[in-house]
Amino acid sequence: VDTSDEWIYTRTGIRERRIASEQETTATLAFEAAARALVIADMHPSQVELIIVATSTPEYIFPSTACRVQDYLGATRAGAFDLSAACSGFVYGLSMAAQSIQSGAVRNAVVIGAETMSRVLDWQDRGTCILFGDGAGAVVLKGSSVPGGVLASTLRSDGSGGDMLSLPAVYHNPMPMLGPEYLHNGHQNNTVAMNGRQVFRFATQVVADSVEETVLKAGLTMDDVALIVPHQANIRIIQGTAKKMGVPMDHVIVTVQDHGNTSAASIPLALSVGAAQGKLKQGDLIVTEAIGGGLAWGAVVLRW
Ligand code: UT7
């Protein structure tokens, strides 16, 4: 496509991204991430009680990616389902899993964000094909009498903005979205279509508010926040949101330069990088936030 490294870097912050090999699928990436997380959590797969895979790129509507991961892991006592909230899927999944544990329904959960976005891009569309990457990350949540973990969450949506960012399902030709005609004009079927400028504007309006609301719900203030782990869509959105919240950039984990936009996988990947770099310290207050297709957005406040 007609683009340049300079345009991509200055407008998005992206330097590199990963593309899955032919042998890899969203399920195999999700499995690898979950298996590694379980080793770190010192848990045997047979102890897992819930598996949530946040993804927009399942191979099948059913069986769910989560059920395939359950089988690959040998997690014989786990419930498993996929969660569809596009780029916000991991934030939604984290919130759902924590509430399942807090209610006593399950004792633990594996929450995975996994995507093979490269398979659903229109490689002729320079507005999207330069942005997205493949990857997977996972966290293990366990119930504990020690205070901490997920403290509060805020989940929001505005379906009237659905036409700004969409990916048709594969099983039929969907009705066209109400909204700007051009979105699916000239697009290959079953590929991502996005009005980047509109999504950009919306993102910079709503995300900071949902973070502040969530921190307040947890009975804390923004001064208590040690680290923001945002969805990695665009460095300019990350910087703009941090500025709006009054959070300095050295309190923000940024991985968009290495991964591109990996949709639901971006936050667990960023958590993994942050953990490997020693940036996530026990007891730190951490906020994850995301916005994407739906439109759906939200934030989770947690004590690491
Ligand atoms: O993860 C889910 C949520 N998604 C997002 O958060 C994405 C949000 N949006 C964005 O990150 C940005 O809007 C983009 C990176 C997609 C685009 O950046 P922008 O600064 O908003 O650019 P634009 O769409 O306003 O386009 C500016 C110019 C246009 O040319 P003209 O009309 O000014 O002549 C585009 O045609 O840049 C052109 N352009 C490109 N040029 C070179 C658009 N894409 C490219 C490209 N290479 N890849």
The pLDDT value given to residue 174: 53
The residue annotated as part of the active site, out of 184, 195, 231, 234, is 231
The closest residue, in CA terms, to atom 27 on ligand 1 is 197
With a pLDDT cut of 70, the percent of the chain lying above it is 93
Q: Is the pLDDT of residue 170 over 80?
A: no
**Which pLDDT band, with edges at 50, 70 and 90, does 169 fall under?**
confident
87 is catalytic: yes
Cβ burial of 82 (10 Å; 0-12, 13-18, 19+) is buried
pTM listed for this prediction:
0.95
Given a cut of 60, is residue 177 above it in pLDDT? no
- Per-residue pLDDT of 218-238, as tens digits, reads 999 999 999 999 999 999 999
Q: What is the mean pLDDT of residues 125-137?
A: 97
**3-state class of 109 per DSSP?**
strand
- The one-character DSSP state at 180 is -
pLDDT(182) > 50:
no
Question: Strand 296-303 relative to strand 285-292: parallel, antiparallel, unpaired?
Answer: antiparallel
Please say if the pLDDT value at position 189 is more than 90: no
Q: Which residues are near ligand 1 (CB < 6 Å)?
A: 3, 7, 11-12, 87, 126-127, 130, 165, 196-197, 199-200, 203, 233-234, 237, 261, 292
Work out which ligand 1 atom sits closest to the CA atom of 126: 48
Rounded CA separation 99/106 (Å)? 9
Question: Residue 29 CA to chain centroid, in angstroms?
Answer: 14
